[in-house]
Amino acid sequence: MNIAVFASGRGTNFGAIIRAIKSGKIKANLSLLVCDNPKAGAIGRAKRAGIKVALAKREVFANKEDFEAKIIAHLEENKIDLIVLAGFMRLLSPEFVSKYQGHILNIHPALLPSFRGTEGIKDAFEYGVKVTGVTVHFVDEKIDHGPIILQKEVKIEEDDTLETLEKKMHKIEHRLYPEAVRLYLEGRLRIEARKVKIKFH
């Protein structure tokens, strides 16, 4: 199977997936990085790993439809089977999601459905919850919604700062996301009544 990772920033989860493939934990081709930011650290990671980069800057296109059409062309050219969102800071249109329904994964730094949005770690920390976590889910037409695949709790200790919490969260993300990708590629995920069933051997 061929994977495309979408990223806009440092690409640490992208790096985690690269490492999982190199170690044999994930058996697939990481064929493409789709990026909307020419300064993203993810691009350097892709080049070092020999992964093709499709740079699509939103401002170059007259509208979102044209922007996504260009991305779709890249996906079709590279025969992509699975899209992995890893800090891609663009909302995908309902039409795009519908086209790839059930084949787009996202990771969110909170225990969904709590603390949706771009500041999941900060929002949980400032709200004062004692437990937050990481969620991997299928993408649907709503923001940070979709059937949940895996979740892992992270305790917020009394002496945690936002920075220390972020570090703990990223460590969990880098383990959980490759695991979810592996389950998908092994055909062990099935969506029933908007819930994900995991097939165990």
Neighbours of 44 (CB within 10 A): 13
pLDDT band at residue 118, thresholds of 50, 70 and 90? confident
Residue 132: pLDDT over 80 = yes
**Residue type present at position 200:** F
* pLDDT value of position 181: 98
Encode pLDDT of 167-196 as tens digits.
999 999 999 999 999 999 999 998 887 889
* pLDDT value of position 76: 98
Domains held by the chain: number: 2
Instruction: Using alpha carbons, select from 177, 195, 126 the residue that is nearest to residue 18.
Output: 177
Same domain? For 68 and 1 the reply is yes
Whether 108 is a known active-site residue: answer: yes
Residue 199: pLDDT over 90 = no
Same domain? For 78 and 117 the reply is no
pTM for the predicted model, two decimal places: 0.94
Same domain? For 92 and 26 the reply is yes
Of 100, 120, 140, which closes a domain? 100
Same domain? For 161 and 141 the reply is yes
**Domain, as residue range, for 196:** 106-201
Of 46, 78, 100, which closes a domain? 100
Catalytic residue among 108, 170, 174, 201: 108
Q: 55-86: b or e for each residue (b if 16 or more CB lie within 10 Å)?
A: ebeeeeeeeeeebbeebeebbeebebbbbbbb
Instruction: Find the CATH number of the domain harbouring 25.
Output: 3.40.50.170
